[in-house]
Amino acid sequence: QIRNQLTSMSRCLHKAMTLIQPEDRQSIRDELRVKIANSYRMTAKKDHVNVLQRRNIIEQRKEQLEHMNDQREKEEMEQQEEQKKKAYDAEMARLEREAKERERQRKVEEHKEMQKKHAQERIEQLRKTELGAKVLQNMDEDDIGTLDIEDIMAKQVEQL
Do the beta carbons of residue 54 and residue 61 sit within 8 Å?
Answer: no
How long, in residues, is the chain? 160
Residue 17 pLDDT level (bands cut at 50, 70, 90): confident
Separation between Cα atoms, residue 124 and residue 147, nearest integer Å: 13
Evaluate whether 127 touches 136 at the Cβ level (below 8 Å): yes
Predicted confidence (pLDDT) per residue in 27-50, tens digit: 788 889 999 998 888 888 888 999
Q: Where are the alpha helices (DSSP H) in the chain?
A: 2-20, 23-128, 130-137, 141-146, 149-159
Higher pLDDT, 61 or 117: 61
What lies within 8 Å, CB to CB, of 126 at 6+ separation is 132, 133, 135, 136, 152, 155, 156
Q: What is the pTM assigned to this prediction?
A: 0.45
Question: CA 126, CA 139: separation in Å to the nearest integer?
Answer: 13
